[in-house]
Structure 1
Amino acid sequence: MTGILVTGHGRFASGIVSALELIAGKQENVVVIDFIENQSTEILKENIERSLNLLGDEIIVFCDLAGGSPFKTSVILSRTISNKKIEVVAGVNLGMLLEIVLLRGDTCAEKLAEMALNSGGNALKRFKLKDKEEVEDFDGI
């Protein structure tokens, strides 16, 4: 099973995984690394690296924001840890994470990362009320 590491600024990672587990139950091979206030990027790197070494040979790292420290650190580690297949995806949302966790099974990290990008975009919806009848017919998730 592909390992999943979720990281982000503040308590973003622990929050989104908490929501995931509320919906889908406790998940195996899912690790959370929060990048909290006053924490150095060196500590962040140590935490991510230690977790990557625990998760198996195929891993997807989900980050909150492209270009931020959790993302940059994950990308660097994905290139320096040569004995694992590590994919890094930025801009994680709950719909994306939920779909990937439920579908990961024996699917490789590369394929799951591609699926995550499609799922993440499909999870974006804009609600615009045209008339009152639409509310009654509104199909949520």
Structure 2
Amino acid sequence: MTDFLIVTHGSLASGIIDSAKLIIGDTSNVSFLSFDHGDNPDELGQAINAKIQYSINQNRQLMIFTDLFGGTPANRLALVTKQLIKRNDLEILVGVNLPMLLEGLMSAQQNEDVKEIKRKCMKAGLDGIKDLKEAFNL
């Protein structure tokens, strides 16, 4: 089984999860952490570590998404996972969007390996970016 963790600034993570739930239904394997103005980065790191350790202790793969390269959520993920980065059951992507989360959830339902889930999420994230005027000949 694959767990998903989304770590973002503000309410972005909860919003993406709500949207995914509207489209795909069950999002019980998705959790999130938000970093808001005035929050302590060290506490965010501790919360990230607790979520990761929970998945590891449950023998689950973990796909983590964050929003902005160089932002506090991504930086804390880098610090926390530095010792875990060689694990085959943990993957992390920056630049979360709805198409990549949906692809990840659908791939996880097929019991795909987290490395394959990551690959498909990256493709879906990039493929989801379109010029609407061009796509519809407007």
Per the normalisation by structure 1, the TM-score is 0.84
- CA RMSD, aligned part only? 2.2
Does residue 1:67 correspond to 2:66, yes or no? no
Cα offset, 1:130, TM superposition: 9.5
* Secondary structure, aligned partner of 1:119: helix
Q: Distance in 2 between matches of 1:119 and 1:13?
A: 18
Cα offset, 1:29, TM superposition: 1.8
Cα offset, 1:125, TM superposition: 0.9
- The amino acid across from 1:26 in the alignment is D
- The amino acid across from 1:98 in the alignment is L
Cα offset, 1:80, TM superposition: 2.1
Gaps of 5+ in 2: none
Cα offset, 1:26, TM superposition: 2.8
Does residue 1:8 correspond to 2:13, yes or no? no
Larger Rg: 1
- The amino acid across from 1:95 in the alignment is P
Does residue 1:125 correspond to 2:130, yes or no? yes
Kindly report which structure 2 residues correspond to 1:66-85, keeping only aligned pairs within 5 A, or say none.
66-81=69-84, 85=89
Q: Distance in 1 between matches of 2:120 and 2:135?
A: 32
Aligned residue pairs total 133
Aligned to 1:47: 47
Per the normalisation by structure 2, the TM-score is 0.85
Does residue 1:113 correspond to 2:122, yes or no? no
Question: Stretches of 4+ moved more than 6 A in 1?
Answer: none
Contact 1:7 1:64 in 2 (8 A): yes
* Secondary structure, aligned partner of 2:82: helix
* Secondary structure, aligned partner of 1:59: strand
Cα offset, 1:107, TM superposition: 1.4
